[in-house]
Amino acid sequence: MRNFVIYIGADHRGYNLKGKIKEWLSEWGRDYEDVGALTFDPADDFPDFAAAVGKAVALSLSKEQKNRGILICGSGIGIAIAANKIKGVRAGTAANPKQAEAAVHDEDMNVLSLSADFLNEKEAKDIVQAFIEAKFGNEERYNRRLNKIEALENHER
């Protein structure tokens, strides 16, 4: 599944790392769309960018395109919490490439949330690469668990 689009967004704390990630995605020949912040603004709020990326990923799911997202804030956690409020989004953080790959393989994570404050550039690059190269395992147990998550989203559990 190489042809998916990656939506990328970051607040002011993730703004510089987002620029680096865009460079890497271009080097790797990956399609991406920057949904903001488009300029550095120390007063911006991460939920705005979580919403933009999350809604774009969710819309792609409704069209069976399965695009992915990358979000960056200081901790990587606040922006993931906000993105996970959008139905269909499965955002998570990753401390290393193996965790990013496992999250896609087992949980079909579709939005990677990165910490600009706690990852160095090489760590971030390796995690992003693992995330975009990973594929969902599509095993019965993984699908069963995703169905249960969907039931939670629909207030059926």
* Structural domain span for residue 115: 6-153
Region 23-48: mean pLDDT is 98
Q: Is the pLDDT reported for residue 2 higher than 60? A: no
Q: Does residue 63 lie within any of the structural domains?
A: yes
Region 94-120: mean pLDDT is 98
Assess contact for 76 and 49: CB atoms under 8 A: no
d(CA 18, CA 74): 12
Q: Does residue 29 lie within any of the structural domains?
A: yes
| pLDDT tens-digit series, residues 42-62 | 999 999 999 999 999 999 988
3-class state of residue 72 by DSSP:
strand
Q: Does residue 16 lie within any of the structural domains?
A: yes
Query: Could you tell me the sign of the dihedral formed by the alpha carbons of 141, 126, 113, 65, in that order?
Result: negative
Binned at pLDDT 50, 70 and 90, residue 82 comes out as very high
- In degrees and rounded to multiples of 5, residue 32 shows phi and psi of -145, 160
- Here the CATH number for the domain that contains residue 105 is 3.40.1400.10
- Of the chain, the percentage scoring pLDDT greater than 70 comes to 99
Q: Does residue 45 lie within any of the structural domains?
A: yes
Number of domains comprising the chain: 1
Q: Does residue 1 lie within any of the structural domains?
A: no
Q: Does residue 118 lie within any of the structural domains?
A: yes
Assess contact for 73 and 46: CB atoms under 8 A: yes
Region 4-19: mean pLDDT is 98
Q: Does residue 27 lie within any of the structural domains?
A: yes
Q: Is the pLDDT reported for residue 154 higher than 70? A: yes
- How high is the pLDDT of residue 116? 98
